[in-house]
Amino acid sequence: MMKHFLVEHDRDDLAWVTFDKAGESTNTLSAETMEEFAELLDHLKKQSLRGVIVRSGKASGFIAGADVAEFIAIKTPGEAMSLVRRGWSTFQKLAALPFPTVALVKGFCMGGGLELALACRYRIAVDDPATRFALPEVMLGIIPAWGGMMRLPRVVGPNAALDMMLTGRAIDGKRAKRMGLVDALVPERVMHNAARSMMMEAPAARKLPFAQNLLMMPVMRHFVAVGARKQVLKRARPEHYPAPYSIIEHWEKHDGDPFAMEPTHPHSIAAISQHPTTGNLIRIFGLQERMKSLGKQSSFIAKRVHVVGAGTMGGDIASWCVLRGLTVTLQDQSPQKLAPAMERAADLFERRLRDRRLVRDALDRLIPDVTGAGVRGADVVIEAIFENLAVKQALFATIESQAKPTALLASNTSSLKLADIGATMRDPTRLVGIHFFNPVAQLQLVEIVAGERTAPRWPEDAAAFVRAIDKLPLPVKDSPGFLVNRVLGPYMAAAFRMLEEGMQPEMLDKAATEFGMPMGPIELADVVGLDICLAAGRAISGESPGSNESPARLVNLVAAKKFGKKSGEGYYRWENGKPVKTAAGNIPAGVTERLISPYIAEAKKAVAEGIVSDADLADAGLIFSTGFAPFRGGPMHYAATL
Ligand code: NAI
């Protein structure tokens, strides 16, 4: 009796294998499901069949990948190798079946799930926006060792395969068809017929075009590998992130065979399973899942959003919500003030949707609203006007009198106290903070702020809303700078102080990126805007605008209207969206420490004060906002390992 698989034979001698993991809403490949699948394959092999169709019994998708909980449990290289062997040999069995096999994919097909599909002779994808293929192992610091490194290059060619494996990028159905990852892309209503006919006709398996095949030859592999290493080096240092280099090495030297490399080789599976990065990345994945589950208690569903203030933040919050399928009314004082946000939105839709009809539909869902009529019909109202308490209070008086009683009322304020904004409301328990980060489309984290008087239901609804627009909610207390800006503050201040001492901006930025930050603090200040940095620094430290405690050079640059990237000059001169930098000098001893330790000290203080509920959430929050070196596992975790 099988627990996770159902096999049905039809009159054409086809076996329909439905994977439906017991007790779960998503199919994952655990030790138990893999064992059952291997037994099933042994059994099928002995039958005389026209073909085998593998499909999913879950509405959510095909297969999400391996069961990550089992990676977390791995302690020794031996355990890592046996997990690899289990998947590898099971999929070898699938590939060796003496009759045609097809994976019928609707929804996500990730990691081990894609490796399973690659071990089938054919793949059919259902044409649906939810259908996505990826090998995201590299993001967890591991490698696609269940046959993916061997089979994917044979199916789509080495360049496309390496791109997928080294970035973890997901591919939609149309793209998968174009690159040959799937043999057919069909509408859902004909998916079963398509699988049946493919089995009955059993066309010759697709071959790589000549030029791609050439790249598979050993000499050419070397050149492809050199190019790939160069690309990876731009994004990840080998000592910080060994997995992508391991993938390249396995493909180049061993044709993707995970058992061929000496276990002592720094890129072997045994070695990377013991590398601290791997444990840290897997831990972060777990924390990300934890954040994704926040807001699950709430049944709040938003269809309409009203955003007030179409500036940097409001405009981008509005377009992001539209991109995620919501209808948004965007309010500002005049059509002229709305125009730049509408233009940026059109840009975002073009880039992300790449389909004329979808772009047009998105534009239809973004409604300019000078009078603010949208408040009445909105499920969520987000205020993102400039940072002025009295004006925000007046605005919320209007919003409160017009909004539906069930509507979520939120401010995007960075530096005002939520309790102060809500102080003049009839019902201050309704106000919640939904604090996005700039640039909205790129940063996953959103802080959910509960003020002193906020009733508990609203932050929960806010977390549900943030999940619905595919961001990660982090509940924080209403305290200056919340978590993220508060922790960034002392770090940026330390950088500014060192600049005042005459240190070179390039050198400071290099110290930070070598530590593993995505961008150095000086470049970051230029990107955020020096005016905003100065104001934020003053707000968090409680300094009055007239005093002269702020770094002199920063104050002077702001006075000279040199705001950074947006004005073309700040600490750096900006050309074509890039800072003009001179070569960075050597990093003197102690500089990195002086830069990073204030960050860590502040994170510890914030956790101790209960700004976030625990150290794990602080780590996750700071990684998904400030990009704190993910391979170090977050500032709190890093501090604990020092
Ligand atoms: P901004 O100055 O770019 O945009 C503000 C917009 O609000 C302007 O277009 C203005 O015309 C409009 N506005 C002002 N009063 C209005 C009113 N009564 N009714 C309708 N529209 C009105 O400001 P930005 O940078 O977008 O900031 C907005 C809020 O977001 C602030 O509370 C800020 O603290 C917060 N924030 C800013 C971040 C940033 O990086 N800029 C990051 C996260 C939060």
Specify if 281 maps to a domain: no
User: Which of 306, 308, 313, 337 to mutate for ligand 1's pocket (most ligand atoms within 8 Å of CB)?
Assistant: 313
Return the residue whose CA atom lies nearest to atom 32 of ligand 1: 413
Q: Return the pLDDT at 355.
A: 84
**472 and 500 part of one domain:** no
**316 and 257 part of one domain:** no
Closest CA to 104 of 91, 113, 93, 112: 113
Burial class (CB in 10 A: 0-12, 13-18, 19+), 583: exposed
**Whether the predicted pLDDT of 140 surpasses 90:** yes
Q: Return the pLDDT at 466.
A: 98
Q: Which helix (H) or strand (E) segment is 578 a member of? A: strand 578-580
Q: Return the pLDDT at 535.
A: 84
Q: Return the pLDDT at 545.
A: 59
Mean pLDDT, to the nearest integer, of 229-235? 94
Q: How far is the CA of 311 from the centre of ligand 1 (A)?
A: 5
Specify if 216 maps to a domain: yes
**Whether the predicted pLDDT of 547 surpasses 70:** no
pLDDT in tens, 51-101: 999 999 999 999 999 998 898 888 999 999 999 999 999 999 999 999 999
More confident residue, 538 or 427: 427
* Count of residues in the chain: 642
Q: How far is the CA of 332 from the centre of ligand 1 (A)?
A: 10
Please name the residues in contact with 79: beta carbons below 8 A apart, sequence gap of 6 or more. Answer: 73, 273
Q: How far is the CA of 500 from the centre of ligand 1 (A)?
A: 31
Specify if 98 maps to a domain: yes
**384 and 509 part of one domain:** no
Lateral strand order in the sheet of 327-331: 366-368, 327-331, 304-308, 380-383, 408-411, 431-435, 445-450, 472-477
Q: How far is the CA of 426 from the centre of ligand 1 (A)?
A: 24
More confident residue, 243 or 543: 243
The set of protein residues with a Cβ atom below 6 angstroms from ligand 1 is 308-314, 331-333, 337, 384-387, 391, 395, 412-415, 435-436, 438, 532
Look at residue 17 and give its three-state secondary structure. Answer: strand
Q: Which of 452, 481, 510 is the last residue of a domain?
A: 481
**211 and 338 part of one domain:** no
Specify if 453 maps to a domain: yes
**CATH label of the domain that carries residue 359:** 3.40.50.720
- What is the rounded (10 degree) CA torsion for 160, 165, 167, 170? 80
In DSSP notation, 370-401 reads SS-GGGGG-SEEEE---S-HHHHHHHHHHHHH
51 phi and psi, to 5 degrees? 175, 165
- Ligand 1 nearest-atom number relative to CA 436: 43
Q: How far is the CA of 538 from the centre of ligand 1 (A)?
A: 18
Mean pLDDT, to the nearest integer, of 103-121? 98
Residue 584 · residue 506 · CB < 8 Å? yes
- Ligand 1 nearest-atom number relative to CA 413: 32
pLDDT in tens, 302-322: 999 999 999 999 999 999 999
pLDDT in tens, 182-211: 999 999 999 999 999 999 999 998 889 998
Closest CA to 15 of 119, 85, 99, 128: 99
Q: How many domains, in total, are found in the chain?
A: 3
The two structure tokens encoding residue 568: 């073309």
SS3 string, 589-613, reads CCHHHHHHHHHHHHHHHHHHCCCCC
- How many C-beta atoms lie closer than 10 Å to residue 332's C-beta? 24
Q: Which of 225, 258, 274 is the last residue of a domain?
A: 274
pLDDT in tens, 561-619: 999 999 999 999 999 999 999 999 899 999 999 999 999 999 999 999 999 999 999 99
Specify if 283 maps to a domain: no
SS3 string, 241-269, reads CHHHHHHHHHHHHHCCCCCCCCCCCCCCH
Mean pLDDT, to the nearest integer, of 213-230? 94
Q: How far is the CA of 179 from the centre of ligand 1 (A)?
A: 43
**CATH label of the domain that carries residue 514:** 1.10.1040.50
> In the chain, helix, strand, coil percent, each to 5?
50, 15, 35
**436 and 527 part of one domain:** no
* Predicted confidence band of residue 126 (pLDDT cuts 50, 70, 90): very high
Q: Which of 481, 513, 532 is the last residue of a domain?
A: 481
pLDDT in tens, 286-301: 999 999 999 899 999 9
User: Which of 333, 386, 395, 486 to mutate for ligand 1's pocket (most ligand atoms within 8 Å of CB)?
Assistant: 386
The two structure tokens encoding residue 461: 């609804």
Closest CA to 280 of 71, 18, 47, 110: 71
Instruction: Give the span between the Cα atoms of 104 and 53, in whole angstroms.
Output: 7
pLDDT in tens, 48-60: 999 999 999 999 9
**Whether the predicted pLDDT of 143 surpasses 70:** yes
**226 and 320 part of one domain:** no
Specify if 299 maps to a domain: no
**514 and 453 part of one domain:** no
Look at residue 431 and give its three-state secondary structure. Answer: strand
Instruction: Give the span between the Cα atoms of 341 and 368, in whole angstroms.
Output: 10
Please name the residues in contact with 220: beta carbons below 8 A apart, sequence gap of 6 or more. Answer: 214
- As a whole number, the mean pLDDT across the chain is 95
101 phi and psi, to 5 degrees? -135, 145
Residue 77 · residue 263 · CB < 8 Å? yes
Q: Is 220 left (phi over 0), alpha (psi -120 to 50) or beta?
A: alpha
Instruction: Give the span between the Cα atoms of 126 and 108, in whole angstroms.
Output: 11
pLDDT in tens, 328-373: 999 999 999 999 999 999 999 999 988 899 999 999 999 999 999 9
**Whether the predicted pLDDT of 544 surpasses 70:** no
Specify if 287 maps to a domain: no
Q: Return the pLDDT at 354.
A: 81
Lateral strand order in the sheet of 61-63: 61-63, 108-110, 132-134, 171-172
- Ligand 1 nearest-atom number relative to CA 334: 11
Q: How far is the CA of 386 from the centre of ligand 1 (A)?
A: 4
CA triple 607-610-613, angle to 5 deg: 85
State whether the Cα torsion 452-456-459-462 is positive or negative: negative
Instruction: Give the span between the Cα atoms of 632 and 515, in whole angstroms.
Output: 9
**423 and 531 part of one domain:** no
Q: Return the pLDDT at 542.
A: 72
pTM here?
0.90
**510 and 434 part of one domain:** no
Mean pLDDT, to the nearest integer, of 114-123? 98
Question: Amino acid letter at 280?
Answer: N
Residue 489 · residue 483 · CB < 8 Å? no
Return the residue whose CA atom lies nearest to atom 20 of ligand 1: 332
**601 and 578 part of one domain:** yes
User: Which of 382, 385, 526 to mutate for ligand 1's pocket (most ligand atoms within 8 Å of CB)?
Assistant: 385
pLDDT in tens, 155-191: 999 999 999 999 999 999 999 999 999 999 999 999 9
Residue 32 · residue 72 · CB < 8 Å? no
Question: Which of 105-114, 204-213, 380-389, 542-551 comes out lowest in average pLDDT?
Answer: 542-551
Instruction: Give the span between the Cα atoms of 218 and 211, in whole angstroms.
Output: 14
Q: How far is the CA of 409 from the centre of ligand 1 (A)?
A: 16
With a pLDDT cut of 90, the percent of the chain lying above it is 91
**CATH label of the domain that carries residue 231:** 3.90.226.10
Q: Return the pLDDT at 129.
A: 87
Specify if 290 maps to a domain: no
Question: Which of 253-257, 447-451, 519-523, 527-531 comes out lowest in average pLDDT?
Answer: 527-531
* Predicted confidence band of residue 13 (pLDDT cuts 50, 70, 90): very high
Instruction: Give the span between the Cα atoms of 634 and 159, in whole angstroms.
Output: 33
Q: Return the pLDDT at 546.
A: 59
Q: How far is the CA of 153 from the centre of ligand 1 (A)?
A: 48
Give the domain range for residue 170: 5-274
Instruction: Give the span between the Cα atoms of 554 and 484, in whole angstroms.
Output: 21
Active site residues: 414, 435, 447, 485
Look at residue 122 and give its three-state secondary structure. Answer: strand
Return the residue whose CA atom lies nearest to atom 25 of ligand 1: 312
Q: Return the pLDDT at 550.
A: 82
**242 and 333 part of one domain:** no
Residue 4 · residue 29 · CB < 8 Å? no
Question: How far is the CA of 46 from the CAs of 39, 41, 42, 596, in angstroms?
Answer: 11, 9, 7, 62
**459 and 502 part of one domain:** no
